[in-house]
Chains A and B, each alone.
Chain A
Amino acid sequence: AQKVTQAQTEISVVEKEDVTLDCVYETRDTTYYLFWYKQPPSGELVFLIRRNSFDEQNEISGRYSWNFQKSTSSFNFTITASQVVDSAVYFCALSEAHDMRFGAGTRLTVKP
């Protein structure tokens, strides 16, 4: 069975700090995808990134970056120079067989 663990339930930082959200997954498949979604206070789920199991290149998109390490089964998400608008619940998810399983989410609060 696939499983996604986001050990950090809540994180609070001050604006401009860097913050890393951890995600550890379990799967027996060699082919799978990992995702991050953002859920701001307004409630919608916003897709951020998808990474397949064969591509371990790190990715950077503006202030966001993702570190995928198969050796440790981790797919961590870093926000650089955080802003108040980054405050949200962030979900890591794993997809291997026709459905997506989510972690419990990490609530990030960025204070001004």
Chain B
Amino acid sequence: GAGVSQTPSNKVTEKGKYVELRCDPISGHTALYWYRQSLGQGPEFLIYFQGTGAADDSGLPNDRFFAVRPEGSVSTLKIQRTERGDSAVYLCASSPGTSQGYEQYFGPGTRLTVT
């Protein structure tokens, strides 16, 4: 079946602009995660959804970052007033369960460049 998909694959924006990044999880997966990967480092957790609600947003760096999952499927990560330090690859993952111990599957990522 189809894997996790993310759009756009690349996004270049000017400092101060607003951006939205989209994630389509694997069909039927109830858990959805966002991670961020900076150059030369491993991915770092941002936020986790169980269904429609954000169960853990402890990884969001500040209040410029926000994510939604209104119908429990597609999710959008929103970044306001972008800064050059926001440049990174944003990865989305999904898993079939909402308790611990389920395998996570990652999308190809969105490479965000803030100029």
A associates with B: no
Which positions in A face B, CB cutoff 8 Å?
A: none
Which positions in B face A, CB cutoff 8 Å?
A: none
